[in-house]
Amino acid sequence: MEHLIEVGAGLRAAEAVRLASQGASLLWRDDFAAARRLLAAMRKRLPDRTADFYRYRQSRRNRARVLGKLLVEVGADLRIDLPRAPETRAAIQAAGGRPGLVPLTTVLGMLSAHQWRLTGVPVEALGARIHPHYGVFPPTRQEYVSLVARAPLARVRTAFDIGTGTGVLAAVLARRGVPAVVATDVSPAAVTCARENLARLGLDRVRVLPAELFPPGRADLLVCNPPWLPGAAHSPLDAAVFDPGSRMLSGFLAGAAAHLTDGGEAWLVLSDLAELLGLRTRADLAAHFTAAGLTVAGRLDIRPAPRTGTDPLSRARSREVVSLWRLRR
């Protein structure tokens, strides 16, 4: 590896940021807890403060690149041979990680994700826990779940949950009494995660299929909670937030009419963050509906809990509204 420097507790955060910004990779050979303190100090020297969302995203990418230069060595047994290093084998194995030099940020992400997977996320609408896998977005924000849990539901025999992720919305639909639910996702990790969650909840009748969007056939109800912001995804979890070219949003809307039964509805769950950030207008969204041959039969709104922060995303979230659009042919 080019520009690999072995470092330890004597390295100060300012020097670490300077070296990493110049492209050097820093292989940590000291106490694991000290590495975490160094990483936290480096984060403070790389703040996310800019008035423009595009520059904010660029600063985030640069910040992630620099922080990712602090490496630890993962052994053949998927453990880290450093003083006070935590047990990592199960977390790295569950995340599909491999031996080698790995960014400390990645290792910490795997450990955090494994803890979520073990303990689960309580979901009020289910009265149960959902267990996310590494790389599958956890339902920690549940406004979209509560909207699907309370939207009017009458005479629905079949439902498709498009982009199911952890399977939480498919579980809500099944718990609401929909006899046949088919959930899809393009991510193999999400398909595995959803199947495990639904089996754990005793909802084996819900089928989870790998698919980019729709499964074969038609349904009385189509549900989709696509990534809320148009833009490129720079990490697996980014893919749950950013939708390059609004491909999933436009694909769901364009295919909805062909997959709805007569009198059926398509439920699109979407935040207005993109509008608040100037990335899409309400007129753009309405044009998508019209182009797809869909009309708005109703809308349910929910305002998330207030967020704090000075970056553009946090400021927009302080005014955010999440909506469930009920669409018909």
Range of 1-5, 136-140, 170-174, 274-278 with top mean pLDDT: 170-174
**Helices 32-44 + 13-21 axis angle, to 10:** 70
CA Rg, the chain, in Å?
22
Least confident of 74-78, 199-203, 236-240, 270-274: 236-240
- Is residue 1 over pLDDT 60? no
Helical residues (DSSP H) of 70-224, grouped into ranges: 89-94, 104-119, 143-150, 168-175, 188-200
Tokens 């300077």 belong to which residue? 18
Terminal Cα-to-Cα distance of the chain (whole angstroms): 56
Report pLDDT digits (tens) over 175-217: 999 999 999 999 999 999 999 999 999 998 899 999 999 999 9
- Is residue 78 over pLDDT 90? yes
Report pLDDT digits (tens) over 233-257: 766 666 667 888 889 999 999 999 9
- Is residue 160 over pLDDT 80? yes
Report pLDDT digits (tens) over 299-325: 999 998 777 777 777 777 788 999 999
Segment 2-6 mean pLDDT: 86
**Tokens standing for 323?**
């909506």
- Which helix (H) or strand (E) covers residue 181, if one does? strand 180-185
Q: What value, to the nearest 5°, has the Cα angle with vertex 56 and ends 281 and 236? A: 85
Segment 5-16 mean pLDDT: 94
Q: What value, to the nearest 5°, has the Cα angle with vertex 96 and ends 94 and 99? A: 110
Question: Percentage of residues in the chain with pLDDT exceeding 70?
Answer: 96
